[in-house]
Structure 1
């Protein structure tokens, strides 16, 4: 018999202060918002009930990263006006607050939102305004990461790096490279990363998700990555793995997404536990709340279920995300200290992960 999750344990994890460092704007819409914005545009969707639409948008049938990414055309179709972008950004931050998230870094590629005439600056202004509008009600600190796409030709990545630098005093905290890895090496975009670093902007790179450890090596040694997005296949190069651990290059791990893109077969085999045991600066993230169908609470609970993480380990990893954030040092230390104080108040006996056999709970506190 499959054990039943204890809803009190899940509620405790949701209340635990957390930080989200790897969350894509165009993959984290509410189902109701996708339905409403699609209807306003006259776009047909296969489901009109939010729960069914959410299930359909969750990508469990992809064979690889490329198929996973294909689903984003549906969301991008309703992210081409300033009003649409502001709403989606605001709702993402509100949803983060409801999930116990104190700090969130949202990433996106502005070039994907100019199809109907918005300028890159107008896109940036709309998303930043939406993030700011979402911050105040829930007390969340929200910042933005600008992505370039590996698959687009030069000078796209330089244009995105320049945009990121232009807005770094207005809410942008880093520059990123995303998209299909295989056949699109990061080294082709190295000058864009040099520009970002020259202007004192942090950089992160998607690597080791759709390609092997050599992709991570390029991200670290040719692009100067301060963090690695995913990094799932880092274990294929033990020397590089040791370098990443020793230099405290944080890993933005997205376990459920990695199962969906077939980088790992099942959650229980995810190498995040190996990296944690080695002392790596690992963080847990959703990647895309809609396409992966998870909240950050879900990801932490899954780590407890499939990897055997205790509540002490969950708390330790949660705090590491505050340490690895791209906020100025004093600000992230203040957020971490606040989170640590609140975690200390949660040290009374945690609820059991699973309910006893035959036991039922009507509600969770």
Structure 2
């Protein structure tokens, strides 16, 4: 009887072992079947409203996990601009966000536990990108970052980023949460800092995290809840360039208040109208864009000398202009006319709608807002 019982136990162990091996193989095959991309994670916050991830990160479609704890997020490069990650390499893309973070300006913790539009993320990562090489030639490139932005009010936005491009994948709502005292008490000194009032005060008054000018501008003002959602509104508009004296347009790029970005190269789909206005076939009226925060562009003069220009738009001014030109009709088409002068030392920006109404955007002498280089 003992021998028979031993044989049965051995058989069950062998069967269980075979099932476990089969299960592991299936998991391995499933993971390998999910397409992998070379990318790294990144975090972002609006300037003046720093955040910090306390716990969690991105869950991958393969079942893996990428943490988003990178310390205090200052947002010094603008809403949507990615920072540096720590997990570069080939892996599957994320399909879920599971993260707890602190909004320093509110001294409030939030918890985001929501699915990410995985199919959209995959489609975007499969889109080919280009960048201009050191010799001026166009080189193939690709999206290489998944950036997560944390704004006051529990606003969380995920972007896919690559050279010259950022695409919003989705906007998500985090809920207010309270970290239990029992959990806080178990933390060591470094991890415990985020829960101390003195640390919150230090971060909000640190010039290296929030520039003094921004601190002064925000002083005694309420947190502009809803601002980052207003950035996401899109309009039917396109840029049109007028280069004088038979000059030739080269490349241009737009960064938008919603954190997205586009870059265009003159080799791709450039068209010319009879009155020398230049635009790109890709930028059609049927496509909507958020309001731009800045534009960079370059052109060649008749003598082949290269020039480049940069505008950083005044937020209040350009939003008011778009609202006046569109009124309540979001289907109104708007053109942004960028016109260089004959000496190639200056450029003007004019907005006009399909009814012929025009608004010139004021050019600031400060190089922070406007510059022409050659």
The normalised TM-score by structure 1 is 0.26
The normalised TM-score by structure 2 is 0.25
Larger Rg, first or second structure (1 or 2)? 2
Structure holding more helix per residue? 1
Higher relative contact order (CA 8 A, sep 6+): 1
Structure holding more strand per residue? 2
